[in-house]
Structure 1
Amino acid sequence: MSSAAVLFDLDGTLIDSAPDLHAAAARMLEAEGQAPLPFEIIRSFIGNGVPKLVERIIGVAGLDMAEHPRLVSAFMAEYDAHSTDLTRPYPGVADALARFRTMGYGLGVVTNKPEASARNVLAALRLAEFFPVVIGGDSLPERKPDPSGVLTAMEQLGASATVYVGDSEVDSETAGRADLPFLLFTEGYRKSPVFQIPHQLVFDRFDGLPALVEPLVSTQRLV
């Protein structure tokens, strides 16, 4: 029997981190003599990693793109100092993870957030114990939607029957490129309507997630 795993995106999937990311962006812009950008704009920038988020901020704020490396460092300093001031897990996340663990699933996080930041947030929110594997945006040469992160996580967990759970277009493409079933959490940071994002199943509450995952994994085990 194949060992089974559930891999998760982090921001917009397990945790609602947009308020802290927006606050970090506001502090970074204030230091540059700029007004903060609206929350919804920053929220729409989440998903492709911090360098891309800062690049988008620079474009909207009219800053000099040559300052991108410095501003990425400034953003991360602001974010890491306050990364769980406002961030919380989505309702039911901890209970669902505990249920998966009881069912014998391996669990991992594959995110475009820097690995150290991801681990710090998971620890602060008391979720780290569930995840023996965390792959960040700087853990490997390529980041999502490149499939290397999920494939590496599967290898580290010793899993073949695996599903990927995320909230965005990037996550859907990642799962597709890794040839994994994708479950779309509809309450996260997607930019497109649900019907435009390839997925196997959708959900909006974590209490029902284990029941959705089990048939997908069982099907893979039979192949």
Structure 2
Amino acid sequence: MSGAIVFDLDGTLVDSAPDIRAALNRVLAGENAEPVTLAETVSFVGHGIPQLVRQAREARGLGPDRQDPMTAAMLAGYLAEPAALTRPYPGVTACLERLCALGHPLGLCTNKALAPTLAILDALDLGRFFGVVIGGDSLPQKKPDPAPLHAAFAALGTPLLYVGDSEVDAATAEATGVAFALFTKGYRKAPVTALRHSFAFDRFDDLARHLDGRAALSPTAG
């Protein structure tokens, strides 16, 4: 079975919240606002930087007139240093190597803007695994709209699986009509049982094992 597998990035392949928090707190400091905690940052992640900025701005009582300048500052600051603290989750590199060896075309589909996505992949030596990378600004639509994931699979071939960590990813997979594997140690807010998925895993060592039979890919929750 060598169908295409597409991954989310933040909270799925990499723990990027520390770098996102650092960049966001630099922006908030420029607004004379209190910094955000790591937990707050995680709660804001998933819909791209403009939405993240909006949630942080509103949480700190800053007006909508600050949205555009704060977003521009966040994009510039984050792109300057997107991977100082960001690390792959344990077992990610070995898992990707194994899936490639098994003949699975791999892709990436994230709501993070393309420029910092590529910078992170380069810094962590992960870009070599992916035949296509779709960022949050690659198309007019963002996840959970199915268009970005459709585009990723169109570039790779027969869809097999989408791998993500969040409510957004689960909704994207359902809208796209593909099986979904839920990584349970990412940035999910809802209980595992609340998200429709084909299987859940908490160790990347286990991912390839779940692909041994197509029966394992039927939805089991949600």
TM over 0.5: yes
Preserved contact between residue 2 and residue 102 of structure 2 (Cα < 8 Å): no
Preserved contact between residue 154 and residue 162 of structure 1 (Cα < 8 Å): no
Question: Are residues 1:181 and 2:179 paired?
Answer: yes
Question: Are residues 1:168 and 2:166 paired?
Answer: yes
Q: In 2, distance between residues paired with 1:133 and 1:13?
A: 17
Shift of residue 216 of structure 1? 3.2
What's the counterpart of residue 102 of structure 2?
103
TM-score normalised per structure 2 = 0.94
Aligned pair count?
218
Map 1:113-192 to 2 at 5 A. Answer: 113-157=112-156, 159-192=157-190
Three-state SS of the structure 2 residue aligned to 1:55 is helix
Deviation >4 Å, runs of 4+: 217-220
Q: In 1, distance between residues paired with 2:216 and 2:203?
A: 22
**Distance change in 2, residues 1:164/1:30 (3 Å):** same
Q: Which amino acid aligns with 1:208?
A: D
Q: In 1, distance between residues paired with 2:53 and 2:215?
A: 37
Q: Which amino acid aligns with 1:196?
A: A
Q: In 1, distance between residues paired with 2:213 and 2:82?
A: 36
Q: Which amino acid aligns with 2:10?
A: D
Q: In 1, distance between residues paired with 2:141 and 2:217?
A: 30
What's the counterpart of residue 9 of structure 1?
8
Q: Which amino acid aligns with 1:81?
A: A
Preserved contact between residue 146 and residue 173 of structure 2 (Cα < 8 Å): yes
Q: In 2, distance between residues paired with 1:216 and 1:138?
A: 33
Q: In 2, distance between residues paired with 1:51 and 1:219?
A: 34
Preserved contact between residue 210 and residue 216 of structure 2 (Cα < 8 Å): no
Q: In 1, distance between residues paired with 2:88 and 2:131?
A: 18
Map 1:28-43 to 2 at 5 A. Answer: 28-43=27-42
Unaligned runs of 5+ in 1: none
Please give the root-mean-square deviation of Cα atoms over the aligned residues, in Å: 1.6
1:163-211, CA deviations, whole angstroms, 9 ceiling, x for partnerless residues? 0000000000000000001000000000111111111100000011011
Q: Which amino acid aligns with 2:202?
A: D
Question: Are residues 1:200 and 2:194 paired?
Answer: no
Q: In 2, distance between residues paired with 1:174 and 1:219?
A: 16
TM-score normalised per structure 1 = 0.94
Q: In 2, distance between residues paired with 1:155 and 1:139?
A: 14
Q: Which amino acid aligns with 2:18?
A: P
